[in-house]
Amino acid sequence: MKTKIKICGLQSAEDIEMVNELMPEYAGFVFCESRRKVSKEKAEELIKSLDSKIKKVGVFLDQDLEEVHNIAQDCSLDILQFHGSESQQYCNSFIQEIWKSFLVEDESSLEMLENYSTEGYLLDSFVKRVAGGSGKKFNWEILENKEIPRTFILAGGLNSENVQEGIRRTKPDIVDVSSGVETNGCKDYQKIKEFIRKVRA
């Protein structure tokens, strides 16, 4: 089965034009504190122009239930990605598909997965005081020969140079990239194109 692609941290009309042309399966919008954060209003505007075949993922971090509900509804989000200490009960409050993020420091980090039964498990790099989007990869050896029981999203430090190795070693369903397709903090058309080419090769 082919590995799908999520381009995360879209912020501008130019970003939307790029993904509409290059067609990853998922587009990510960050609604928590981050240099890539977009307001609900801005995201609504961008999503109007997004190709309807691309699924919309909202990224949140320990936010108020009502706030997340409102954003999810107004932006017609398909998937909610939670990067904080949200409980399974919190995750159950939504009708959208849920991806729960886990920061991987060592093999014991994977024990947390047993506390959740969300549709997707996103594994990202553990970097102190950073909840994702760090641009650092974790030790993929931890995942070799491990069976991830749900949809498995690999994140953390991916780029066109290492994504094929990441896929070969960890066998994710989806690869998630943000800083790995940026130049000077902005999405870079050539980098996105090359990343997607490598994944789909």
116: number of Cβ within 10 Å:
17
Distance of alpha carbon 157 from alpha carbon 152, whole angstroms: 16
CA-based max dimension of the chain = 43
Q: State the pairing for strand pair 186-187/182-183.
A: antiparallel
Single pTM value for the model = 0.94
Q: Residue 130: what pLDDT? A: 47
Provide the domain count of the chain.
1
Tokens 């909202």: give the residue. 58
Dump strand ranges (E) for 83-192. 97-104, 120-125, 151-154, 174-177, 182-183, 186-187
Distance of alpha carbon 152 from alpha carbon 58, whole angstroms: 17
User: Per residue of the chain (201 residues), what is the pLDDT tens digit?
Assistant: 799 999 999 999 999 999 999 999 999 999 999 999 999 999 999 999 999 999 999 999 999 999 999 999 999 999 999 999 999 999 999 999 999 999 998 888 899 999 999 999 999 987 654 444 555 788 899 998 788 889 999 999 999 999 999 999 999 999 999 999 999 999 999 999 999 999 999
What is the domain extent for residue 49? 4-200
Q: Residue 145: what pLDDT? A: 79
Q: Give the CATH number for residue 82.
A: 3.20.20.70
Q: Which residues are catalytic?
A: 8, 124
Cβ atoms of residues 75 and 97 within 8 Å = no
